[in-house]
Chain A
């Protein structure tokens, strides 16, 4: 057979705690606990044996690790973009500004295993020649901000951060910093602006952060889960990580499951597990109801109806095949009673509220979209409204500095594509097809 694609039922994928491996231990976040499971061995070995950055990058490339924040860019490749021969400060930033609705995985890595993030950043700093690092943490999870700050103090005291780390010539210091309520700061250049003490408005690229980042210095920004995966890759080898996943999607992934399931929570599994098994892990659809639709990677990824997602596997290609994407791995599950019109109204309000206001198509377009959906929900929808919604969304998409504009268009287009009849019904009958139940 020319193409050996396995049917979902033939793929054996299991739960595999890698970033969350300390979760069930006593005092999971402490340095002592992390050391007891072999923590900081990777960076110790690297510094002791003076392993070359190029060799480490090759290992990470082999692992198939892709950015876990949503864009899925190959991590090894991204790290190779950092200029080698520029003198002076270089920065690496961990992006824990987790604001994509339905995403709460980085919260748990910080809560249960902060030292693995620190070790991942140490390895990143060593590879990219960075001397300063920040972990930018979502302002809403204040206790995690405080606890990460505590973890950096603990690591510094033990000689893992600061000057002459583990008595080598390697210097790197890391600090916890926080956002304060702006979704856009998850975008890396907006995050850089925020670290500089400014409004979080994305920068036009190029120049890219690799050459002009924080204070105009070379900067690399990676997601929390990406950094936390690195020590395991160095300890076990890139091939072992790659083998955990499937083609184009090496390793494990934490999926945040929320909405209409019996057991909402984070599930760290090998890439490529069929969606149906992940749904079972999350206890199945609540109240014994049927599945209606799922947003598989956060609202910036397209909604898919039950019949497609039940055939899909949880990896980049598996979700691309059904017209969506993995995003940040944030599954929002909706049961048969969900009103798609009211649900879309809430998502549209989110993008309208969180647009930074810099680009006209996004600033104005997200407001239009919200107002049109609101008038449908208020019983004042017009027959031309669906065409108008599609038109406005298409005119936002691709015409803005950052991806928020594209993201705002995604739910509108995918909700209408799969559930147009519900929208038509709402416009004609001035009420939800799903009855009185609130979305």
Chain B
């Protein structure tokens, strides 16, 4: 079994400082986020390593990883595109945007493109509804008020 990287361990240690000493479990949400940001997704191996580092049963970590939608338990390519399709985005034409994205990347929801670069995920409300339609890339960066043209430009820049 491999190890957590030094930088992830350092980040988890800093996160632990937010909680009482005997409450290491509280850092699990952040720990999984750190690992995912580094590896792109959460393998069974990564789950075990986080469990081991925080002295938790693996199932406790797996429960969290499966409950929260932004963790990925399968590879999602280099760029995971999450698009909110909830009501405020739907009212402002997200369906057309989804069609455009699926056509231009030749993938459907939850699929990874053949070149391994893109994955498209459907998301619930991101709390950014005045910027509809919108996406996030790899859970961190938001791209707002999308049009087919601005999306195409973005994809070119990412390539």
Residues of A at under 8 Å CB distance from B?
89, 98-104, 106-107, 134, 138-143, 175, 177-183, 194-200, 215, 256-260, 264-266, 295, 299, 330, 332-334, 338, 343, 346-347, 350, 353-354, 356, 438-439
Contacts and interface: CB of A to CB of B under 8 A. Distances in A.
Interface size grouping (class) on chain B: 35 or more
Contacts of B41: none
Interface string B34-64: 0000000000000000000000100010011
Contact of B91 (A89, A143, A338, A350): A338
Contacts of A100: 125
Contact of B26 (A139, A197, A260): A197
Per DSSP, are chain B's interface residues mostly helix, strand or loop, or mixed? mixed
Given A102-B129, A197-B27, A346-B85, A140 B70 contact: yes
Given A100-B125, A264-B92, 4 more contacts: A104-B130, A107-B127, A143-B140, A180-B33
Contact of B71 (A180, A264, A265, A330): A180
B88 A102 contact: yes
Interface stretch (B1-9, B17-25, B108-116): B17-25
Interface string B83-125: 0011110111101100000000000000000000000000111
15 contacts: A99-B125, A100-B125, A101-B125, A138-B126, A139-B68, A139-B139, A140-B127, A141-B126, A175-B18, A180-B33, A197-B56, A259-B87, A259-B88, A259-B91, A264-B132
A332 B91 contact: yes
Contacts of B136: 140, 142
A103 B29 CA distance: 24
Contacts of A198: 25, 60, 63-64
A98 B29 CA distance: 17
B124 A258 contact: no
Contacts of B126: 138, 140-141
Given A182-B68, A353-B124, A264 B129 contact: yes
A197 B64 CA distance: 7
B18 A140 contact: no
A181 B69 contact: yes
A258 B144 CA distance: 14
B130 A196 contact: no
B154 interface: no
B150 interface: no
